[in-house]
Amino acid sequence: MSASEKKDVVSSDPPANGSNCNCEPPKAVRPSVRTAFKQRKYTILDGLCVLCSVGSFLFDTGSDIWVAYRHYNDGSYWYFGLTVAFIMVPATIMMGFSFRWYLLDLKQHGKHPSKLQWFVRTAFHLLQLGQVVRYVDALIYGLKSARSKSEQREFYRRSAEEDVDASMLRLFECFMEATPQLILQICILARDYPHQEEDFWTMVAQNVSIVTSLVSVAWSLASYNKSLRLVIEDKANMRWRGAAVYFLWRLFVIVPRVLALGLFASLFPLYMFLVCGLRWLIMSAWIISMKTQFYENRVEELVYNLVLGVVFIFCYLNPVDTPTRFRMSAFYVGTFLENTILLGVFYAYSPSDIWYKVPAVLGGTLCFFLGITFMVIYYLLLHPTGSIPLVLRRNQCLPLPRAQMREEMLKTGALEKDMAGHLESLTTQSPPSEDDCSCSCETDSSAARDSRNRVDV
């Protein structure tokens, strides 16, 4: 605490009567506790982030449906079936997670939505649009927080809850739906484009789907990282510059990954399933060995670890809140070697007359190093907690246990109410008399120490 802050907490000026004892009550100041909700006012940027998340979801899903329609229209029923499967299966799994979370909230926190709310939630989940409901709830609570004075904090808390839940669901769905879709469409283009076997509009739809899927994956990572910091008590919010560089880091690391897998699959589709399956098993075992604590139920925790293993095929997240320097380094070194091998196999075994062989290999390699460069810039210059000199201590895109997430929010609310009551008592306290000087000073000093300790939390 700086000298000026100390002066604000307790006045150090001597009393007018010349006594050495300071009998003036402490001055009440706005607490500077770093809590989970540093930003009480719901801003336009918060609302725009939610709208961008909804937009990325709708555009990504819509472009995939367009691709499926084009494959069906062309008579490519095998491609049509795979495209639809990659849309429906992950979406159904995520809707199951989402509905389960509603039931957990009802059981643990006594939230009792109205019958209309249950009907709307159920209907949208059956339509595979459960994330949209959560994003809309987050936006509504955020707007109520901006308009309400008496319940501003409560509405902001609810908005953050729905935002982080929706962001996590979107994150997992992207890696279970968008990335497989990317690999599939890249594989189809690489197999059929050189022989001019595809309709022009089908190729347009595929390219649109690839772009929207890439943007959706990178945005889901940046959005989840931003929303997660709102519910972790001792973490600063992410600024827009940091979010932009974080987005670019994730984008340029994922591009070579899906490119390598897609091009390899165009030559050896069955071996591609073997590569991804083996990687998934290794990553899932690695995650299980970290002893994550997202669910209390062991079966649910195992399912969660297996789902997270799918994410690790493409991208690193930190499943446990511990230092990640060596784990992240090992992950990226292994991923780079695997990408290089896959691209090398594609270059060696693809027909010699394919013009994009060299650009694909060089572009994939350069994109990976460009992504790592953005990662270093993020940690050195734009990390919310300040510069981290080449020590990647924490990747804050970690799934926080839901129980801990709620505890952080409730603890924050209780702490702030306690602080508000304490400061209110200080402002209404009358100055002590001369006779009570010694006792009053002792009380004030104790209160000042308590206030200072809270401020330094």
Instruction: Dump pLDDT digits (tens) for 297-314.
Output: 888 888 889 988 988 999
Residue 195: pLDDT over 80: no
Which carries the bigger pLDDT value, residue 371 or residue 42? 371
In a domain, 38, yes or no: no
More confident residue, 21 or 411: 411
Q: Is residue 423 part of a domain?
A: no
Report the range of poorest mean pLDDT among 54-58, 117-121, 171-175, 389-393: 389-393
Residue 339 lies in a domain: yes
pLDDT for 159 equals: 86
Quick one: average pLDDT of 249-275?
94
CA atoms 148, 151, 154, 158: torsion sign: negative
Q: Find the range with the poorest average confidence among 16-20, 212-216, 240-244, 278-282.
A: 16-20
pLDDT value of residue 193: 73
Give pLDDT, residue 405. Answer: 52
9 part of a folded domain: no
Lowest mean pLDDT among 23-27, 244-248, 290-294, 428-432: 23-27
User: For residue 106, what pLDDT band results from cuts at 50, 70 and 90?
Assistant: confident
Q: What is the pLDDT of residues 365-376, one digit of tens each?
A: 999 999 999 999
d(CA 239, CA 49): 12
Q: What is the mean pLDDT of residues 341-357?
A: 90
Q: How confident is the model at residue 258 (pLDDT cuts 50, 70, 90)?
A: very high
pLDDT of residue 341: 96
3-state secondary structure of 427: helix
Give the per-residue pLDDT at 403. 52
The runs of H, that is alpha helices, within 268-401 are 269-289, 298-311, 325-349, 357-377
The whole domain housing 287 covers 44-410
Assigned domain for 314 exists:
yes
195 or 295, which is more confident?
Answer: 295
Chain position carrying tokens 């889901």 = 220
State residue 56's pLDDT score.
92
DSSP state of 382: I
**For the residues 244-266, what does the mean pLDDT come to?**
95
Nearest to 128 by CA among 99, 104, 101: 99
**Total structural domains within the chain:** 1
Q: Residue 36 has what pLDDT? A: 42
- Per-residue pLDDT at 363: 94
Q: Supply the pLDDT for residue 229.
A: 77
Taking the C-alpha atoms of residue 369 and residue 380, their distance in angstroms, rounded to an integer, is 16
% the chain with pLDDT above 70: 72
Residue 405 CA to its chain's centroid (Å): 13
Q: Which residues lie closer than 8 Å to 88 by C-beta, 6 or more apart?
A: 128
Helix (H, G, I), strand (E, B) or coil at 213: helix
Higher pLDDT, 437 or 92: 92
Measured distance CA(71)–CA(450) in Å, rounded: 68
SS3 labels along 117-174: HHHHHHHHHHCCCHHHHHHHHHHHHHHHHHHCCCCHHHHHHHHHHHHHHHHHHHHHHH
Q: Residue 17 falls within a domain, yes or no?
A: no
The pLDDT of 177-205, averaged and rounded, is 85
Whether pLDDT at 274 is above 90? yes
Let me know if residue 32 belongs to a domain: no
| Residue 408 clears pLDDT 80, i.e. is over it | no
pLDDT for the residue numbered 40: 58
pLDDT of residue 425: 57
Cβ–Cβ < 8 Å for 264, 275: yes
pLDDT category at 351 given cuts 50, 70, 90 is confident
Ranges 5-19, 106-120, 364-378: which has the least confidence: 5-19
Asked if the model's pLDDT at residue 169 lies above 70, the reply is yes
Question: Given pLDDT bands bounded at 50, 70 and 90, which one contains residue 194?
Answer: low
Average pLDDT of the residues in 418-441 = 52
Q: Would the CA dihedral through 357, 360, 366, 369 be positive or negative?
A: negative
Residue pLDDT, tens place only, 375-392: 999 988 887 776 565 544
pLDDT at 454 over 50: no
**Binning pLDDT at 50, 70 and 90, where does residue 111 land?**
low
> Which one of 174-188, 292-306, 309-323 scores highest in mean pLDDT?
174-188
- Secondary structure tally for the chain: helices H, strands E: 15, 0
Tell which wins on pLDDT, 64 or 410. 64
> What pLDDT does 440 receive?
42
1 pLDDT more than 80: no
Q: Would you state the pLDDT for residue 30?
A: 26
Q: What is the predicted pLDDT for the residue at 442?
A: 42
- Three-class DSSP category at 446: helix
Higher pLDDT, 106 or 56: 56
Mean pLDDT of 67-94: 92
